[in-house]
Amino acid sequence: MKRPVPAESASAFIDAKINELGDWRGKTLAKVREIIHKADPEIVEELKWVKPRSPGTPVWSHDGIICTGETYKNVVKMTFAKGAALKDSSGLFNSSLEGKVRRAIDIHEGDKVDETALKDLIRAAVALNLNLKAKARSKPKPQRASSKRAD
């Protein structure tokens, strides 16, 4: 079983990634990160999917994954784990729209991030995770068949 990367290490990794990029992508990732923390101060930064050829992916979680923050040559991509279940009245989602579960926001150089709409989306994702967790806790556990025989 893989051990999760400690939150301090994940935060340090994200800091290093932002500094390493040193261009609009780093600034955009830093801005997105700031908005995420403003939307939910209890958010946890994680680093997932670390492999020998991949340093991993920044992930923001609150009782489950909220979104990831990936950087590519021409885009900073925020992928919401349960985005298809979220109401996106501001139309932020512009990628992975055909997916049944995830939705993404591709931010290109020069794009302005709608901070209010993004905060609303983050809060909706947190509320969804909390709701799903509460439902899972209140669901009765199935009874195991007894191995005792009736006489």
Per DSSP, the three-state class of 63 is coil
Tens digit of each residue's pLDDT (9 = 90 or more) over 5-35: 555 688 998 999 999 998 999 999 999 999 9
User: Is 89 inside a domain boundary?
Assistant: yes
Coil/strand/helix, residue 146: coil
Cα distances from 87 to residues 20, 41, 118, 121, in angstroms, run: 34, 22, 12, 8
Say what the pLDDT of residue 59 is. 95
For residue 93, being part of any structural domain is answered with yes
Please choose, from the candidates 18, 19, 13, the residue with its C-alpha nearest in 3D space to the C-alpha of residue 55: 13
Type of residue found at 73: K
Q: What is the pLDDT of residues 54-112, one digit of tens each?
A: 888 999 999 999 999 999 999 999 999 999 999 998 999 998 888 889 999 999 999 99
Domain CATH number, residue 92:
3.90.1150.200
Domain with 47, as residue range(s), is: 7-131
- pLDDT band at 1, cuts 50/70/90? very low
> Which amino acid is located at 86 in the chain?
L
Judge whether 12 lies within some domain.
yes
